[in-house]
Every structure is written in structure tokens, then in C-alpha cells.
């Protein structure tokens, strides 16, 4: 294995340039660790003339990423363009057909086409690695695929969109409403061009679907991820949840249950003193639970040039060392087609409502909950100046169905002002 | 690679039996993930007749682990006996000479003989993997060797002895003195037969020396680890540190500095609201810092049958998948001989002393500190009933030498009662 390993890098944004910089800066270190020289043969991006923070003059330039992907002097096609289709898909397909290994940071591409791409790569005896696609610099794909390979995985959880966690913790710490912090984040350049990718939970949902495929040996099924963004999280709920000892996170959860594969990305309450609850700002956290290992928590930067390029390089080093692990940890042909769970697993719920100032109001609400089989763990009624009082309820474990039924019946009690809010409490 | 991979397991304590149980319980899962059957050919332990929590009747029995290690029907020698020399060393050597790969959970063996064993294994074209030797179920060897392989490592830190962290957090939460909690831990069976392995920091020091070798590409040099146990941590310091916003942890730190390789395992103060500060009970945590990735934090169970066997299985799966990574992440012959740093890197220090109730007492102490070039960040004097008052000082960054000089001069001031205490504050 003393021949150089030659890269073709498509996409020269922050991550692409970050990768070029590591290859240049750590040539000696990388050779010591892999036994091979790692070199760059060619690069590609939309604009050749843009000023970039690296000297690219030694590399061939390709305007067309497909041409880059199929060059004879490229061993690994490094896809850092992004996008679920278009050039990213075409060039990745071309690279595989031309007998290249692929390293990608593209969660959207794999969430939509991961299964067929993995099958194509394996047919040609090649590998696709994607550490950088999930939780940036955190080596979570490796931890799950390899580090926990002796475990039946019970559950995967994660805060995997730094922008959403930034917005939620900023709302909490500054006491600002969602719309205001959203605008701040936009001005700081934290949001994708289509902000719904971030705040709608789509980006984090892509990542969750990739981890679920590895964890449960199933085909990637992003379409089955239950998605709810953070747009409806109010500063009131953040404050009230805090009063009850919780924080609100955009939390991804994947688990295999008797009812099928459950995948959801939605605002959840988690205990304020848990590792997930303590996570502030743009940092990511993934929690892996296995039958032997128990709970493993990984924390680190989920985005940014350095961390993401670090993950890209981990995959390149792995291939340089001769490791050939199937894309999702087992041959694509052996991945099962998952049955999506029709209902989410039972959980405690947080309920918030405004009760009118009438005798027996609370009794009416409690009666509805009791009739739906929902029992109350904790309840708190706040002092009030006007004609209604905020009431918080933490339930014992119940089903989403029961909660929805109960919420549906509340208007008829004539004691609840406006809409009641229900948020799942995830046991971590 | 469709031939079965055959294990010989030496040592049938909780981890050995935990490993047997995973192989039996997850035969199908392991085959899906590796493409091979993983089987057990033979086992070995001190007592054949002891009751164990697994059916071993299908496996050959060897009284002598060396005989086990050299059997023709063994591909991987799984060493779970423990001990830095004796049977563990002899059988590991024998296995390597007989052309076997080795998976071990034995930190003492590798801390003392890791370099020569790695060199011998590589000479024979074989590998030694040791995920289970460091921080139990946390896949930290993999994260450092592979996940962060594109980084120049800046610093490795860790709370890697669960018993010590249990003792310190129990002292803190119950307000009990060290001796009492030590006795509790002994009765609960948390301590090694030689408790100094735990509370003297030796076990955690072994682990740190292995991570340092990977991180900095140097030969394992356990003898150069500066070791200080937790025996002198007082409940007073735990309480006072808490007042100042810190927790006391037995913290391992390895970093390459201009003065050479610094490796220390000693009680340190860390911010109470940092991930390390929040770590309670027997859980382990490792913090890895790289030039590109920034800071990665890993948390999980550091001991126990399930978590440790999970790590053993990760190594077995890795070998079954055909990965052949050098023991310390690069060929043993290329590991540098580290120059141990003569002094630890500058840091803030926590100082606690009793000052006599005399005018000008504090001024005399402040003068000594100033003359030694130590500047004060925060100071707190407590109310007192008798003739002396507890005083806490948090310094700005200074050297251990300056602190030691200052402490040496305090008795001559005639205002300090008893010995002053100084504990390093690690910036995390």
C-alpha cells in the first residue's frame, strides 16, 4: 500500500477548502498514520476565479464534477457540493460506475438515494463513507457502525442541527421570542438559503435517517421520519418547561419497537440536568444506546470548516488504511425494508393551557384527562392578574393518541382559553 | 472472507463471560455485520469448576492460557485475564509468535509492554486491538485512532477511573470524609484487590499513557506519567471548591508542549458547569482536542461486564471485517521516544489556607504570592468562630514551581496555620 492515494474534490466551499488545508498541512502526519501519501489530483467548483483560502495551483481543474469523478488519476471522489440530486447525484453515480470510492458530507443525497448508491458501490466492490454527513466533527458514524458493532441498538437520539439549538438556547437565555432570534440567526448567516432545512427539522431528519439505517440494519427511509420544526416553540413554553426542570430541544429519536421503526425529529422536553438538557448553542450531541454498552454520549461541533473537514479526512484515512466497511455497516442487499411505526412509543407529556377563573375549571380538565386514561404526575397553577390562569401539567406515560383526544375535548369544557399545548417529554 | 473467525478466550471473569454471552446471543447480528461467523474454539481460566453465567460446554478447555493462545483452531487470542506480567504477558507473546491477532482489555500489560508487543505483532503481520482497555464501553481508542486521524491532537483529558469518581462525588453529595467513603466503596466491591490501583491513580494512569501514545505518535511511557491519587482530597476542599464554582476530579491530561510530553493523572479542579464537572458517579468521560475538530467529548460506562465486553466485541468485529490498523495508529517502528516535560504547563491554581486572626495577615500572604509572580484572580475569606479564618484564593495562570515556592515561604510569615493546600485548575 505504498502508492499514493489520490483525491478528486468536488465542491470548494468552507468544507472543501478545509479538507484541502488538512491534506496540505498534515501531509507528513497522514503518511505516518496511513503508510501512504495522500494527494489531490483535481478539484472542481462552480466558480474557478473565486478567491479561496488555499493554493490550488498544483491541482487540475474540472468545471464538470462528473468529469472530475471519472478521471483516471482519482482514487477517491470527495463529494462536498451538497444537494440531494443534480450534480451531486450525477457525479457520485459516475464515480461509482468508474470504480472509485466515495467520501461525502452530503446528508440530503444519502437520505434520498443512500440505499441505491450503496448497492451500486458494493456491486463495483467500492465503498461510500459519510462521517461528515452526520453531526460534523463528532465521529458518530464510526462509533455506531464500528464501536458499538457488538450491540443490538436500542435507541439513537440526537441534537443534530446546531442552528436550531442556537435559536432555542438563545431564546431561553435572552428571553426573546422565536421570530426575533430567527431573524438574528439569519443575519449572522447561520441559516441555510432555505431556512426550512434547519428550522423545519429536515436537515436533522436526514441525519437521523442515516443513523437509523446503521443502527437497525434497515434501508434509509427518510420519508418515514416524523418531522416537526421549532417554529411553534414559544418563549412561554421555554420558560414554563424550565420551571418544571426541563429544556426544549429539537431532538431526533430512532428506535425499533414492537410497532415498527419509529423515527421522529421534533421539539421535546428533556431534563435540564441531563447531558442533552445542558447542551448550549450550536454544539451537537448524539446519544447511542446498546444492549451491552448502555448509554454512550458524544458531543462536539456539528458544523464548520474544521470539524466537518476532520470527519471527511477520517473517512479518507480509513480508506487509505485499507478498511472496506459497507456503507450502512452491512451489505446493502441485507438491509431490511423497515415497517414504520404507526404510533410513537408512550411517554410523559407536558401540557400547558390557560384556565378561566371559574370554580371547578381544573376539575373539568382533570376529568377529561382521566377519561382518556391520562394520569397526572405533577401540576402547577400560576398566579394571575386577569381572568385566566396558566396551568402546567406533567403527565405519567401515555400515548400521543390519548393526548390528542384529550386536547380535542378541552374546548367543549368551556374552561380552557385558547389552544392547549402538548410537548413530549423524552426519557433520557 | 466467508470462513468463520475463531476466538480463544483467556479469562472468564465478568468481562470474559460477557464476551461469550454476546457471541452466543448475537451470532446472527455479528454475521450480518461482518460477513463471517464468529465462533469460540476454546476458553481458559484458573478454575474449570467455578459456576459461570454461560454455557461453555461446546468449547475446548485449556488450563494453560499459553496452550490456548497457540491452538491451531484459534484466529484471535482474546486476553481478559489482566495483570501486567505473568500469564497475560506470556500468553500474549505466545499468541503473537504463533501468528494470531490479539484483542485485550489489559491496560496494565500494554502500559508496561505495549511498545514491544506492538513491534512483535507487526513483525508477524498481526494486530493488537485494545478498545476495552481504556474507558470501558466508550469507543475512545477508535475515536482517537480513526475518527480524529486527520487532526494534530492538542490535548487528551479524561476521568477514567469510575471508582475514584464515585468516591469524589459521593463525598461531595453526602458530605462524608474520604476514609468513610473509601470504606463504603471497599464494602460495595468497587475497589481492586490492591486499592492503590484505583485511588492511587495507577489504573487511570495506564489508560492515559495508552491514549497519549496514539495521540502524539510516541512510545507508551507510563513511567513518565506524573501520578497523584485522591487520598489527600479533603471534604473541606470539595466544599470550598464548590463555593468557587468548581468540582474536584481525578483528571488525566496528556499534551505535547514546547517542553516535551506532559502526562499527569492527578486531582484537579474543573468548572462545575463543564461536562467534566457535571460527571457524577462511576461514569467515565474522555475529552479529545484536535487542531481541526476542536473539542470532542465522549461519555459512558467505564467498567462492568456489558460495556467492557461491548468494546472487546468492537475489536473482534473490526478484525473480522478485515481492518488491520497498527496498535497505536502508526507502525511501532515509527513511534517517537517522547521527551517527558520537566514542568507542567502553566495553569490557574486554587489555594486554601487558614489565616490567623491578626492585622495584616492577608497582606503578608499576598506579598509572598506577588513576589513569586503569582497574581490573584479571586479571593474569599470566610467568617470564623475561633482564632483563624479559612481563606480561598484562585490565582491567574502561573507555574507549579511558583506555587511550590510560595507555599514553602508561607510558614515564615507566621500568619498561616497548618499546611496550605494547592490544587491545579484545569482549563476545560
Print burial letters for A110-120: b (CB count within 10 Å at least 16), e (below 16): bbbbbbebbbb
Q: What is the ipTM of this complex?
A: 0.96
At B177, which CATH number?
Answer: 3.30.360.10
Three cell numbers at A50?
A: 473565486
Helix, strand, or coil (residue B226): strand
Decide the pairing of beta strands B101-104 and B76-79. parallel
The question of whether A207 is a catalytic residue gets the answer: yes
Report the pLDDT value the prediction gives residue A357, as an integer from 0 to 100.
87
Tell me, yes or no, whether A94 and A144 share the same domain: no
Tell me, yes or no, whether B364 and B243 share the same domain: no
Taking the CA of residue B117 and the nearest CA in chain A, the distance in Å comes to 19
CA-to-CA distance for A339 and A327, rounded, in angstroms? 21
Q: Which residues of chain A are within 8 Å of residue B7 when distances are taken between CB atoms?
A: none
Eight-state DSSP code of residue B382: -
CA distances from B174 to B169, B171, B245 (A): 8, 6, 18
Tell me, yes or no, whether B200 and B98 share the same domain: no
- Look at residue A32 and tell me whether its pLDDT is greater than 60: yes
Print burial letters for A369-398: b (CB count within 10 Å at least 16), e (below 16): beebebeeeeeeeeeeeeebbbbbbbbeeb
Helix, strand, or coil (residue A100): coil
Mean pLDDT of chain B: 96
- Look at residue A49 and tell me whether its pLDDT is greater than 80: yes
- Look at residue B357 and tell me whether its pLDDT is greater than 90: no
Least Cα distance to A78 among A59, A57, A53 occurs for: A59
In a domain, B284, yes or no: yes
| Residue in A with minimal Cα distance to B19 | A150
Tell me, yes or no, whether A411 and A360 share the same domain: yes
* CB spacing of B33 vs A310 below 8 angstroms: no
Tell me, yes or no, whether B234 and B250 share the same domain: yes
CA-to-CA distance for B32 and A303, rounded, in angstroms? 32
pLDDT band at B359 (very low <50, low <70, confident <90, very high): confident
Report the pLDDT value the prediction gives residue A358, as an integer from 0 to 100.
87
| Residue in B with minimal Cα distance to A142 | B147
Of B93, B110, B133, the residue at which a domain comes to its end is B133
In a domain, B59, yes or no: yes
pLDDT band at A384 (very low <50, low <70, confident <90, very high): confident
pLDDT band at A227 (very low <50, low <70, confident <90, very high): very high
At B23, which CATH number?
Answer: 3.40.50.720
Report the pLDDT value the prediction gives residue B218, as an integer from 0 to 100.
98
Nearest CB partner across the interface for A150, out of B273, B298, B313: B313
DSSP of B321-336: TT----TTSS-GGGPB
pLDDT band at A386 (very low <50, low <70, confident <90, very high): confident
Question: Mean pLDDT lowest for which of A220-224, B97-101, B273-277, B382-386?
Answer: B382-386
Nearest CB partner across the interface for B318, out of A34, A137, A146: A146
CA-to-CA distance for B10 and B62, rounded, in angstroms? 9
pLDDT band at B383 (very low <50, low <70, confident <90, very high): confident
Of B334, B358, B385, the residue at which a domain comes to its end is B334
Tell me, yes or no, whether B73 and B205 share the same domain: no
Q: Please report the number of interchain residue pairs, chain A to chain B, with beta-carbon separation below 8 angstroms.
A: 190
CB B136 within 8 A of CB B284: yes
Three cell numbers at A236?
A: 412561554
- Look at residue B1 and tell me whether its pLDDT is greater than 60: no
- Mean pLDDT over residues A379-405, rounded? 92
- Element (DSSP H or E) covering residue B23: helix B14-25
Nearest CB partner across the interface for A301, out of B29, B149, B294: B294
Mutate to test the interface with B, among A136, A293, A322, A335 (most CBs of B within 10 A): A293
In a domain, A337, yes or no: no
Question: What global pTM score does this model have?
Answer: 0.97
In a domain, B164, yes or no: yes
| Residue in B with minimal Cα distance to A276 | B275
The CA-to-CA distance between both ends of chain B, in Å, stands at 45
Q: Who's near B234: CB < 8 A, 6+ residues apart?
A: B177, B178, B421
* CB spacing of A292 vs B137 below 8 angstroms: yes
- Look at residue A387 and tell me whether its pLDDT is greater than 90: no
Taking the CA of residue A216 and the nearest CA in chain B, the distance in Å comes to 10
Q: Summarize pLDDT for B250-286 with one digit per residue, the tens.
A: 999 999 998 899 999 999 999 999 999 999 999 999 9
Tell me, yes or no, whether B208 and B236 share the same domain: yes
Residue A261, classified by CB atoms within 10 Å of its CB into exposed (0-12), middle (13-18) or buried (19+), is buried
- Mean pLDDT over residues B24-46, rounded? 97
A207, A219, A249, A364: the catalytic one is A207
Helix, strand, or coil (residue A420): strand
For residue B379, how many other CB atoms are within 10 A of its CB? 14
CB A61 within 8 A of CB A44: yes
Least Cα distance to A58 among A43, A37, A80, A79 occurs for: A43
* CB spacing of B148 vs A310 below 8 angstroms: yes
Q: Summarize pLDDT for B103-132 with one digit per residue, the tens.
A: 999 999 999 999 999 999 999 999 999 999
Q: Which residues of chain B are within 8 Å of residue A142 when distances are taken between CB atoms?
A: 139, 142-143, 146-147
Residues facing A283 on adjacent strands: A301
Decide the pairing of beta strands B349-356 and B388-395. antiparallel
* CB spacing of B139 vs A148 below 8 angstroms: yes
Mutate to test the interface with A, among B292, B299, B300, B329 (most CBs of A within 10 A): B292
In a domain, B98, yes or no: yes
Structural domain boundaries enclosing A117: 5-133
Tell me, yes or no, whether A275 and A197 share the same domain: yes
| Residue in A with minimal Cα distance to B27 | A150
Contacts 24+ apart (CB under 8 A), B83-87: B83/B108, B83/B109, B84/B108, B84/B109, B84/B111, B84/B112, B84/B113, B85/B109, B85/B112, B87/B10
At B381, which CATH number?
Answer: 3.30.70.260
B107, B207, B219, B249: the catalytic one is B207
In a domain, A220, yes or no: yes
Q: Who's near B350: CB < 8 A, 6+ residues apart?
A: B237, B240, B241, B244, B246, B269, B392, B393, B394, B395, B421, B422, B423, B424, B425
Report the pLDDT value the prediction gives residue A2, as an integer from 0 to 100.
67
Q: What stretches of B334-373 adopt beta strand conformation (E)?
A: 349-356
Tell me, yes or no, whether B129 and B145 share the same domain: no
Q: Which residues of chain A are within 8 Å of residue B306 when distances are taken between CB atoms?
A: 291-294
For chain B, the domain total comes to: 3
Q: Which residues of chain B are within 8 Å of residue A311 when distances are taken between CB atoms?
A: 147, 293
Of A89, A115, A133, the residue at which a domain comes to its end is A133
Tell me, yes or no, whether A275 and A290 share the same domain: yes
Tell me, yes or no, whether A112 and A203 share the same domain: no
Nearest CB partner across the interface for A296, out of B137, B275, B293: B137
Mutate to test the interface with A, among B22, B150, B330 (most CBs of A within 10 A): B150
CA-to-CA distance for B376 and B365, rounded, in angstroms? 11
CA-to-CA distance for A105 and A119, rounded, in angstroms? 19
* CA angle at B247 for the pair B243 and B248, rounded to the nearest 5°: 120
Report the pLDDT value the prediction gives residue B245, as an integer from 0 to 100.
96
Nearest CB partner across the interface for B32, out of A306, A324, A334: A334
- Look at residue B2 and tell me whether its pLDDT is greater than 70: no
In a domain, B322, yes or no: no
Report the pLDDT value the prediction gives residue B386, as an integer from 0 to 100.
78
In a domain, B108, yes or no: yes
- Look at residue A359 and tell me whether its pLDDT is greater than 60: yes
* CB spacing of A137 vs B307 below 8 angstroms: no
Least Cα distance to B341 among B231, B236, B253 occurs for: B253
> Length of chain B in residues, anyone?
428
- Element (DSSP H or E) covering residue B419: strand B416-424
Nearest CB partner across the interface for A313, out of B131, B150, B317: B150
Tell me, yes or no, whether B128 and B148 share the same domain: no
* CA angle at B420 for the pair B416 and B422, rounded to the nearest 5°: 150
Q: Which residues of chain A are within 8 Å of residue B294 when distances are taken between CB atoms?
A: 137, 300-301, 304, 306-307
Taking the CA of residue B424 and the nearest CA in chain A, the distance in Å comes to 25
* CB spacing of A139 vs B148 below 8 angstroms: yes
Alpha-helical segments (H) within A217-342: 235-243, 305-320
CB A231 within 8 A of CB A189: no
Q: Greater confidence, A169 or B359?
A: A169
Amino acid at each position: 500500500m505504498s502508492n499514493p492515494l489520490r483525491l478528486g474534490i468536488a465542491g470548494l466551499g468552507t468544507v472543501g477548502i478545509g479538507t484541502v488545508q488538512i491534506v496540505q498541512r498534515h501531509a507528513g502526519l497522514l503518511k505516518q498514520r496511513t503508510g501512504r501519501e495522500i494527494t489531490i489530483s483535481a478539484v472542481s467548483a462552480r466558480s474557478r476565479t473565486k478567491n479561496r483560502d488555499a493554493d490550488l495551483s498544483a491541482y487540475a481543474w474540472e468545471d464538470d464534477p462528473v468529469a472530475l469523478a471519472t478521471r483516471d488519476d482519482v482514487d477517491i471522489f470527495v463529494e462536498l457540493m451538497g444537494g440531494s440530486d443534480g450534480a451531486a447525484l450525477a457525479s457520485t453515480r459516475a464515480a461509482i460506475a468508474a470504480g472509485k470510492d466515495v467520501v461525502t458530507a452530503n446528508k440530503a443525497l444519502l437520505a434520498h438515494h443512500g440505499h441505491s448508491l450503496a448497492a451500486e458501490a458494493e456491486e463495483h466492490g467500492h465503498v461510500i463513507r459519510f462521517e461528515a454527513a452526520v453531526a460534523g466533527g463528532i465521529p458518530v458514524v464510526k462509533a455506531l457502525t464500528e464501536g458499538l458493532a457488538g450491540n443490538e441498538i436500542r435507541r439513537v437520539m440526537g441534537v443534530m442541527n446546531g442552528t436550531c439549538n442556537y435559536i432555542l438556547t438563545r431564546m431561553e437565555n435572552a428571553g426573546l421570542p422565536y421570530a426575533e432570534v430567527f431573524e438574528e440567526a439569519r443575519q449572522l448567516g447561520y441559516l441555510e438559503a432555505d431556512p426550512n432545512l434547519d428550522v423545519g427539522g429536515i436537515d436533522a431528519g436526514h441525519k437521523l435517517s442515516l443513523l437509523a439505517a446503521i443502527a437497525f440494519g434497515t434501508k434509509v427511509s427518510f420519508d418515514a421520519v416524523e418531522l416537526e420544526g421549532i417554529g411553534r416553540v414559544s418563549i412561554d413554553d421555554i420558560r414554563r418547561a424550565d420551571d418544571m426542570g426541563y429544556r426544549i430541544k429539537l431532538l431526533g429519536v430512532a428506535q425499533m419497537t414492537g410497532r415498527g421503526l419509529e423515527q421522529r425529529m421534533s421539539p421535546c422536553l428533556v431534563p435540564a440536568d441531563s447531558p442533552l438538557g445542558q447542551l448550549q448553542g450550536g454544539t451537537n450531541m448524539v446519544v447511542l444506546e446498546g444492549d451491552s454498552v448502555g448509554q454512550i454520549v458524544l458531543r462536539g461541533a456539528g458544523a464548520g470548516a474544521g470539524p466537518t473537514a476532520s470527519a471527511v479526512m477520517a473517512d479518507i484515512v480509513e480508506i487509505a488504511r485499507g478498511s472496506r466497511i459497507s456503507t450502512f455497516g452491512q451489505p446493502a442487499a441485507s438491509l431490511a425494508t423497515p415497517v414504520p411505526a404507526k404510533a410513537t412509543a408512550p411517554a410523559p407529556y407536558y401540557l400547558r393551557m390557560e384556565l378561566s377563573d371559574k370554580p371547578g375549571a381544573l376539575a373539568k380538565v382533570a376529568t377529561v384527562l382521566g377519561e382518556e386514561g391520562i394520569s397526572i404526575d405533577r401540576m402547577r397553577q400560576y398566579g394571575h392578574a386577569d381572568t385566566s390562569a396558566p396551568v402546567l401539567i406533567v403527565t405519567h406515560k401515555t400515548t400521543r393518541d390519548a393526548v390528542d383526544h384529550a386536547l380535542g375535548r378541552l374546548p367543549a369544557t368551556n374552561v380552557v382559553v385558547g389552544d392547549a399545548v402538548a410537548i413530549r417529554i423524552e426519557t433520557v
